[in-house]
A and B are shown apart, each in its own frame.
Chain A
């Protein structure tokens, strides 16, 4: 375990393949080192985050200026995607109008890419891989080669998803939820269509998550260092542990459902297709007897635990950073641990609150309304613990801390706006409106993404040996915070005014101007929000430029760290050399105390690391 690439004298009996200097390919591309794999996940997922953002940027343009060509790149897009996807402006003939099919594709793929290819790989793949083994004092993951396999399954899943844009008919266009029978009917004239590739891509991504989950849980159970008892684990590790179980148990039903939908699409079965289904005015040539509701159950059986897969790792990151920068122990560590376990359990029995309007029955709705209200309790516990942790602290406002602090109210807004959606009665009104979009984006975008950005700024010095630039970081933070809210806050207004989330023209069809006689027609102000949201989204995109510059510039020219523990933190990852070598620890690590011993009375410094031995 001691052998590292830094060691100059090898023990001759250990001179096996582990000690050879690995070539470029084995070291950076097909690596089994959890830190390199973590970095691979990080970079790939950030690229997908950008792609997902570009898709929504194009959609937002269409919503703000329906029927107008996009300002740049219209001709190129037409070349890539074909003229049925990218049209011409009616008056000027300018190329670059997003056609309805393309809008639908972008909508479906924005969700898919953001959830399955960007946020989960960032939260679980990147941070889980890099930080978890370090924090528990393990030399690597329990199954390093499996770890590599799960990255590559993810990578190929991503490739399949991207390729699907270029097959006849374009990418999947039935929403990221791919509800049947729509998903089986759309583009059914093509043998291999976007939906088929979507399912194949999903199967690869599910495989990746599954292998990852098995690996993470095993690592946490088996490879904890000496003295690292369960209740001495940093909260981040607990969050990853529960996330692992969610992925492990919630994904397989979607895989089963994916197989069934694939059968529906390719072998003409009727798992999700009802008897007497009519497509384009003709009774479909199928056996019938299937149930569209069944797909929805399976999808949301994954879909809801997935929400917690997105949020729990971010909570873990925020816990680490808050404790470190308030220089105080995390308030209510045990409450946090039990809350996260509760959330993990409850998240499996709330899924059908996405389906109140499907006609599954009021009794079932009542059950799921109850469990949904129950799951908000541990979530509030966690947030409350974080807030109380701030109380009386002497807070260091560095960039990671700013993002972590912003996470709290942003996630708070996201969580609290979810309550009206969890109640049957109010959900009938709010279902499928922009209110829903606002709600879950507050959870995931300024919530989770801020948590993840905080984590990048926080662990960057450990990973590279250099700090990220504080000034650029603060610019990134301030503008991101402003624009995030400018994007998502007006959506609550639009939603409560009744704007449907799936309208291609941004609600113009049902505007007061076009249909003054319609009850609940959208007034001009509500429609106008489309424009301000789009501008804010462009601003949000620009606000990421300082981050991208900062990330790459700091990697090579940032301020060097002068110690292995630059933030004066307490957890085990800060006891390794910087950056940690293959095998992580120079001597066998051990934990001598709890994870958050800051400002302990009588201690010499205001932090007492887990790896600091008791004085004899």
Chain B
């Protein structure tokens, strides 16, 4: 028993099965990310203050360029197969996968920076942002109680805490000297983690879900680049179609990022 139209297009629709399948799947993905983007809009509209400028725009821009490059190379990989040039395919697909890895690496550095960056809310109504001595991860005010700390050594960013009053006497490095903050003066402490605010909640949800797509996509592409490429010898047409399908998914992943970048970094 053979399923028809697995690699040859059906005459009246002009499509082979997998292409219909991937477009349908992408439609559902649009709804998935669409729902999260809608949440972003609703949360932002409902927020008293919406943090801005907390993300590193140059890094984000660079990452965008990395992903767009990978989008170009994945097309080149497909086109190479169409032109019967298998070594070129290997090269371009390899670059695509490297770009994916680079993107993930850069993203994880960004994540790490956030996990060690803190905001502290003080009894007098002011807040400070900065780093705690020793750069611990994921602390909050409950951590202080659990560790029975009666104070923290806090290095303020200097840039963000306009209310703290030491902006006028800013230091050359942009950092204020470490100050000692008593536990009893702290009402809330949070790293830049999802629990910090709805802003970081939606930021991490969107980017982590996107990163999962990058991981999934690059695993599939890596399979096509490595063991899966054996099919080129047995069924080249179907293999080329597989690359096209993988490429369509990859473009979608890029497209999501192209929306994510301005929405989260720039707006």
**Interfacial residues, chain A to chain B (CB-CB below 8 A):** 1, 3-4, 18, 139-140, 142-144, 146, 210, 213-215, 217-218, 221-223, 248-253, 255-257, 259-260, 263, 267-271, 275, 285-287, 289-291, 294, 298, 301, 582-583
Give the complex CA separation of A255 and B13 in angstroms. Answer: 31
Question: Which residues of B are found within 8 Å of A140, using beta-carbon distances?
Answer: 1, 3
Q: Which of B18-50 contact A (CB under 8 A)?
A: 18, 20-21, 24-25, 27-29, 31-36, 39, 42-43, 46-48
**Known A-B contacts A214-B25, A249-B31, A289-B46; A144 and B194 likewise in contact (beta carbons under 8 Å):** no
Is the beta-carbon distance between B194 and A263 smaller than 8 angstroms? yes
Q: Does B59 contact A (CB under 8 A)?
A: no
Question: Which residues of B are found within 8 Å of A222, using beta-carbon distances?
Answer: 4-5, 10, 13, 15-17, 20
Is the beta-carbon distance between B34 and A139 smaller than 8 angstroms? no
CB distance from A370 to the nearest CB of B (A): 22
Question: Which residues of B are found within 8 Å of A286, using beta-carbon distances?
Answer: 195
**Complex: chain B residue closest to A254, CB-CB:** B35
Question: Which residues of A are found within 8 Å of B195, using beta-carbon distances?
Answer: 267-270, 286-287
Question: Which residues of A are found within 8 Å of B32, using beta-carbon distances?
Answer: 252-253, 255-256
Question: Which residues of A are found within 8 Å of B16, using beta-carbon distances?
Answer: 222
Contact of B39 among A3, A256, A285 (CB under 8 A): A256
Which among B1, B2, B29, B202 has the highest number of chain A CB atoms within 10 Å? Answer: B1
Question: Which residues of A are found within 8 Å of B205, using beta-carbon distances?
Answer: 259-260, 263, 269, 271
Q: Does B193 contact A (CB under 8 A)?
A: yes
Give the complex CA separation of A222 and B28 in angstroms. Answer: 19
Q: Which of B176-224 contact A (CB under 8 A)?
A: 190, 193-198, 201-202, 205, 209
- 5 cross-chain CB contacts under 8 A: A214-B28, A218-B21, A218-B24, A222-B16, A223-B4
Q: Does B142 contact A (CB under 8 A)?
A: yes
Give the complex CA separation of A301 and B32 in angstroms. Answer: 12
**Complex: chain A residue closest to B26, CB-CB:** A214
Nearest 9 pairs of A and B residues by beta carbon = A583-B1, A256-B35, A253-B35, A252-B32, A269-B201, A252-B31, A268-B195, A289-B198, A269-B194
Is the beta-carbon distance between A267 and B27 smaller than 8 angstroms? no
Is the beta-carbon distance between B1 and A1 smaller than 8 angstroms? yes
Contact of A271 among B4, B10, B27, B201 (CB under 8 A): B201
Is the beta-carbon distance between A267 and B194 smaller than 8 angstroms? yes
Is the beta-carbon distance between A287 and B20 smaller than 8 angstroms? no
CB distance from A211 to the nearest CB of B (A): 9
Give the complex CA separation of A286 and B197 in angstroms. Answer: 9
Is the beta-carbon distance between A252 and B24 smaller than 8 angstroms? no
Contact of A287 among B18, B24, B33, B198 (CB under 8 A): B198
Is the beta-carbon distance between B197 and A289 smaller than 8 angstroms? yes
Give the complex CA separation of A222 and B193 in angstroms. Answer: 46
Give the complex CA separation of A263 and B24 in angstroms. Answer: 28
Question: Which residues of B are found within 8 Å of A268, using beta-carbon distances?
Answer: 194-195
Count residues of chain B with CB under 8 A from any CB of chain A: 42
Is the beta-carbon distance between B1 and A4 smaller than 8 angstroms? yes
Give the complex CA separation of A274 and B201 in angstroms. Answer: 14
**Complex: chain A residue closest to B16, CB-CB:** A222
Question: Which residues of B are found within 8 Å of A142, using beta-carbon distances?
Answer: 3, 5, 17, 20-21
Is the beta-carbon distance between B43 and A214 smaller than 8 angstroms? no
Give the complex CA separation of A251 and B43 in angstroms. Answer: 21
CB distance from B210 to the nearest CB of A (A): 12
Is the beta-carbon distance between B43 and A291 smaller than 8 angstroms? yes
Is the beta-carbon distance between B29 and A221 smaller than 8 angstroms? no
Is the beta-carbon distance between B20 and A218 smaller than 8 angstroms? yes
**Known A-B contacts A263-B205, A268-B195; A252 and B29 likewise in contact (beta carbons under 8 Å):** yes
Give the complex CA separation of A252 and B39 in angstroms. Answer: 13
Give the complex CA separation of A139 and B28 in angstroms. Answer: 26
Question: Which residues of A are found within 8 Å of B43, using beta-carbon distances?
Answer: 271, 289-291, 294
**Known A-B contacts A140-B3, A222-B15; A290 and B198 likewise in contact (beta carbons under 8 Å):** yes
**Known A-B contacts A259-B209, A267-B193, A267-B194; A210 and B28 likewise in contact (beta carbons under 8 Å):** yes
Question: Which residues of A are found within 8 Å of B198, using beta-carbon distances?
Answer: 269-271, 287, 289-290
**Complex: chain A residue closest to B195, CB-CB:** A268
Question: Which residues of A are found within 8 Å of B194, using beta-carbon distances?
Answer: 263, 267-269
Question: Which residues of A are found within 8 Å of B17, using beta-carbon distances?
Answer: 142-143, 218, 222-223
Question: Which residues of A are found within 8 Å of B35, using beta-carbon distances?
Answer: 252-253, 255-257, 298, 301
Contact of B190 among A221, A287, A290 (CB under 8 A): A287
Give the complex CA separation of A142 and B19 in angstroms. Answer: 11
Is the beta-carbon distance between B47 and A289 smaller than 8 angstroms? yes
Question: Which residues of B are found within 8 Å of A218, using beta-carbon distances?
Answer: 17, 20-21, 24
Is the beta-carbon distance between B197 and A248 smaller than 8 angstroms? no
**Known A-B contacts A142-B21, A259-B205; A253 and B47 likewise in contact (beta carbons under 8 Å):** no
CB distance from A306 to the nearest CB of B (A): 14
**Complex: chain B residue closest to A581, CB-CB:** B1
Is the beta-carbon distance between A18 and B1 smaller than 8 angstroms? yes
**Known A-B contacts A217-B20, A222-B15; A251 and B2 likewise in contact (beta carbons under 8 Å):** no
**Complex: chain B residue closest to A293, CB-CB:** B42
CB distance from A262 to the nearest CB of B (A): 10
CB distance from A86 to the nearest CB of B (A): 35
Question: Which residues of A are found within 8 Å of B20, using beta-carbon distances?
Answer: 142, 217-218, 221-222
Question: Which residues of B are found within 8 Å of A583, using beta-carbon distances?
Answer: 1
Is the beta-carbon distance between B197 and A287 smaller than 8 angstroms? yes
Question: Which residues of A are found within 8 Å of B202, using beta-carbon distances?
Answer: 271
Question: Which residues of A are found within 8 Å of B190, using beta-carbon distances?
Answer: 287
Give the complex CA separation of A210 and B190 in angstroms. Answer: 37
Give the complex CA separation of A289 and B190 in angstroms. Answer: 15
CB distance from B50 to the nearest CB of A (A): 9
Q: Which of B154-195 contact A (CB under 8 A)?
A: 190, 193-195
Is the beta-carbon distance between B5 and A223 smaller than 8 angstroms? yes
CB distance from B115 to the nearest CB of A (A): 12
**Known A-B contacts A253-B35, A259-B209; A248 and B28 likewise in contact (beta carbons under 8 Å):** yes
